[in-house]
A and B are shown apart, each in its own frame.
Chain A
Amino acid sequence: GESVGLHLPTLSVQEGDNSIINCAYSNSASDYFIWYKQESGKGPQFIIDIRSNMDKRQGQRVTVLLNKTVKHLSLQIAATQPGDSAVYFCAEIRHNYGQNFVFGPGTRLSVLP
C-alpha cells in the first residue's frame, strides 16, 4: 500500500553540525509535504512545507528538499542546536481522508554537546 516512511529511526549529531533527516513516500499524487517537530510531552509543531511542484524551500535554519523522481523528502537543519532535539515527522496531505495529513513513523534527533 501507499505510505510515508522514514529511512532512519534515530539520528545523533554534534551541536553546530548540520542535520539531514530523510523521508520516503510512495503516493505521487500528494499535493503537499510537511515536516513536523515533536518535543517530549508536546504535540507536533509545523516546521516547513513544500508544494509538490517545488524541489526546494528554505526557512530559518531549515531547508526541505523534494525529489519526486525517487519520491524522497529531506529536512536539513543548519547549525543544529540542543533545542532541535526532538522527533521529526514527515507528512503528506492526501485527498482520500479529506486532505488529511498522513504521517511517517518519525526520526528522533539527538544533539550531542
Chain B
Amino acid sequence: DAGITQSPRYKITETGRQVTLMCHQTWSHSYMFWYRQDLGHGLRLIYYSAAADITDKGEVPDGYVVSRSKTENFPLTLESATRSQTSVYFCATRMNTEAFFGQGTRLTVV
C-alpha cells in the first residue's frame, strides 16, 4: 500500500529493554520525522532526517537513536526504555508544506 507505515501498532516492553519502532514510506520524500505525543504536550519532535544518512536532533532526543540508511526507512530505537518514554509515537514525511503521518505506535514501558 502506498503511504507511510509504522510497526508495530502497539508494543509493551519492560524498563531497560531496547526497542525499535519501524517507519517505512513508499514515496521518496526526503524529510522524515519522529514525534511523540503526550497529553498536555501535543506533538514533540524527537529526531528528523533531511535525507539518507543525514539525521539531526529535535526537541526531545534524549534516550533515542535513529538511523536512515535508506530513504524509505527511518527506524527509531529506544536504547534502554524508561517509563517516561511511554507514549504514542508518530512517524511523518514531508512534501512542501504538507506532513504525512503514520497511524502511530502506542508504546507502554512497564
Contact = CB atoms under 8 A, between A and B. Distances in A.
Interface of A: 32, 34, 36, 41-46, 49, 89, 91, 93, 97-106
Interface residues of B, number: 25
Interface string B52-81: 000010110000000000000000000000
Contacts of A43: 90, 92, 101-104
Given A98-B48, A100-B33, A32 B97 contact: yes
B58 A97 contact: yes
Nearest to B50: A98
Interface of B: 31, 33, 35, 40-45, 48, 50, 56, 58-59, 90, 92, 94, 97-104
A106 B45 contact: no
B90 to A, nearest CB: 5
Nearest to B44: A103
Nearest to A103: B43
Given A43-B101, A98-B50, 15 more contacts: A32-B97, A34-B99, A44-B43, A44-B90, A89-B43, A98-B31, A100-B33, A100-B45, A100-B58, A101-B33, A101-B43, A103-B42, A104-B42, A105-B40, A105-B42
